[in-house]
A and B are shown apart, each in its own frame.
Chain A
Amino acid sequence: MAIEVKNIVKKFGSFAALDNVDLKVADGELLALLGPSGSGKTTLLRIIAGLDWPDSGEVAIDGENALTRGASERQVGFVFQHYALFRHMTVFENVAFGLRVQPRAIRKDEATIRARVKELLDLVQLDWLSNRYPSQLSGGQRQRIALARALAIEPRILLLDEPFGALDAKVRKELRQWLRSLHNEIHVTSIFVTHDQEEALEVANRVVVMDKGKIEQIGTPGEVYDNPATAFVHGFIGESIVLPVDVSGDAVRLDGRPLNIAAHGAASGAAKLFVRRHDMAIGPAGSGALDGAIRHVRSFGPIQRAEVALSGREGSTVIEIDAPRDRELQAGEIVSLQPRRYRIFATQD
């Protein structure tokens, strides 16, 4: 089912958790809401689920206004960060809960419920745990049971709040792949919240990057990584070298010295130059835009990582760059750096 969120505003006291947010999710998408804590991503998810209410704005699920319905009437599957399994119920009863509390008129008979629960436990590959209690399961198992429980009500959409946040690194990796393949299998429109960019880029079809209650960029994982729309996105996703520069016309200056790169339409005034570590070309001294002395080199895998001290008017700035291992760099060597790909964003504050 498609989801449409329009002009959502949500304030907690004077703090705007969501500031005029618009979002369209197409049927069958697997979307990630990515942002630092406090960016409003969880609040947005809870508003779509009906667990929180916006101060203004609209939420439509499949073209139908969702705000007239409470959480229990929306048929939205919600997977909680800490699973929220019912501790006094077995795994089986947890999964069956949503079916057992349906209004009598549409409630299925016991045999159908049992068959459905069995089917879901098979889907999450945990049917052998059906008589256990949540306290007897591992974190990864609990998360999969929570997912099976959310799927039991045949949700129109599936929402997951930091689904892997409480798991250790290894289980987290396994579950990511598992979630993606599960989505390929059942194809229900899904949104998950995460603060882990790797998780978002690896699992989602599309990523929504949020900060301070606003959406910074929406795009495929490739788009948000390669073409960050704002300084925040560039800084938040992937690691970047950030240097303060001055733009006037098409000229870019660092510390008063002109850099022979184009401003690409950045407004005149103070700005920030963003370069990915691996997008810095290294040449002999004097050949590029930035000169500096190599202070330290570490080599691992296919790359060598060098700390380069760029000397400026107010002492030196140390940056880290990644270079291929075709030419061994030496500590003490003076090199020249030239950004191959870069972005310049005007400084806002």
Chain B
Amino acid sequence: MSMQTGLATSTTQLRTYAPSTDVSVAAPAPRLEIARGRSTAARQNPRTEPGPIRFVIIALAVTFLSVFVVLPLVVVFASAFSKGVGAYFAALAEPEALAAIKLTLLVAAVSVTLNLVFGVVAAWAISKFEFTGKTFLITLIDLPFSVSPVISGLVFVLLFGAQGYFGPWLQAHNIHILFAVPGIALATIFVTFPFVARALIPLMQEQGTQEEEAAISLGASGLQTFFRVTLPNIKWGLLYGVLLCNARAMGEFGAVSVVSGHIRGETNTMPLLVEILYNEYQFVASFAIASLLAMLALITLVVKTVLERRLDETEVPDGD
């Protein structure tokens, strides 16, 4: 009997708090709440605003997001299909477009792979070990986030450009970095560097080193520990980082624009081609490419939402 009461009370305690914790308007029947009228609603719950004010705030938020965020997205697809489906696919089948898609995929593959490996190692080093210069390392990892993409591109021009520090040497050895694929890859790696490490550091710090220590005490080697204990624990966070890293790698414009040289069919990534076609008033072609990138963004968002839910679940078993 005592067991039963114990169970019953713990659930009731939760329920008792639900209406007040679960933000403002009673969750199960929002319409009813409004229907009951302002003065009573406000009185019934000291934590919400009168009906008309609620309405105005919701209207403002929804309108703002619709006009400034949704509408531009709709414009992309509307413009891409403005001359029909045929024109859309014809634009995508252009050799120039195909070359840009191929280059974008190549650059993303290279930079995501490299940043995946080094992001994991950097996050591992930062969250599981104590060493001098750790704060400096963290700042360094964050840096590309806070630098203008144009400046990210500029630093590579200063290094590898004709008047750059390594420019003459590279020219002498006939190595092309700037205005070629390696330069684009380097700039992309630079701007996407933080994503993986940033997604992993808080997760790994929270998990601590206990499980690794347990594994090692049970006789696992370093690599075994990593692949059997650490990696399974961080897999969702890792996917999250890779996802965002990939989205940015494919969509990067500013940094790549500076180092690319805009050589048609050779050093134009998809975002760069969007710009070129747009400036040449080839709107359908430009928006067709843009629609692919917009799709990528939307898919990324959906997967991100799913992953975030997974990450939340691994933390607290709480189904909202």
**Which residues of A come within 8 Å of B, CB atoms?**
12-13, 15, 17, 36-39, 42-43, 50-53, 69-72, 349
Interface segment out of the listed B6-14, B106-114, B237-245, B253-261: B6-14
Within 8 A of A (CB), among B1-58: 1, 5, 8-13, 15-16, 18-20, 42-44, 46
- Cβ-defined partner of B15 (8 Å) among A15, A36, A42, A53: A15
Residues A349 and B15 in contact in the complex (CB < 8 Å), given A38-B10, A71-B46: no
Main secondary structure of the interface of B (DSSP, over half): helix
- A sample of 6 inter-chain contacts (CB < 8 A) reads A12-B12, A36-B5, A37-B9, A42-B16, A71-B46, A349-B1
- Contact indicator A72/B15 (Cβ below 8 Å): no
**Which residues of B come within 8 Å of A, CB atoms?**
1, 5, 8-13, 15-16, 18-20, 42-44, 46
A69: B residues at CB distance < 8 A: 43
- Contact indicator A36/B9 (Cβ below 8 Å): yes
Main secondary structure of the interface of A (DSSP, over half): loop
Count of inter-chain pairs, beta carbons less than 8 A: 42
- Contact indicator A51/B13 (Cβ below 8 Å): no
B46: A residues at CB distance < 8 A: 50-51, 70-72
Nearest-neighbour CB distance to chain B for A12, whole angstroms, equals 4
B12: A residues at CB distance < 8 A: 12, 15, 17, 37-38
Nearest-neighbour CB distance to chain A for B41, whole angstroms, equals 11
Please report the C-alpha to C-alpha distance between residue A51 and residue B15 in the assembled complex, in whole angstroms.
15
- Contact indicator B13/A38 (Cβ below 8 Å): yes
Residues A37 and B10 in contact in the complex (CB < 8 Å), given A12-B16, A12-B18: yes
Please report the C-alpha to C-alpha distance between residue A298 and residue B16 in the assembled complex, in whole angstroms.
43
Please report the C-alpha to C-alpha distance between residue A70 and residue B43 in the assembled complex, in whole angstroms.
5
- A-B interface, 5 closest residue pairs, ranked by CB to CB distance from nearest: A38-B9, A38-B12, A70-B43, A12-B15, A71-B46
Q: Which residue of B lies closest to A213 (CB)?
A: B12
- Cβ-defined partner of B19 (8 Å) among A12, A38, A71, A349: A12
Please report the C-alpha to C-alpha distance between residue A141 and residue B10 in the assembled complex, in whole angstroms.
30
Please report the C-alpha to C-alpha distance between residue A299 and residue B20 in the assembled complex, in whole angstroms.
49
Please report the C-alpha to C-alpha distance between residue A52 and residue B18 in the assembled complex, in whole angstroms.
12
Q: A12-B15, A37-B13, A42-B16 are in contact. List 17 more A-B contacts (CB 8 A).
A: A12-B12, A12-B16, A12-B19, A13-B15, A15-B11, A17-B15, A36-B9, A38-B8, A38-B11, A38-B12, A38-B16, A39-B9, A43-B16, A51-B46, A52-B19, A52-B20, A53-B44
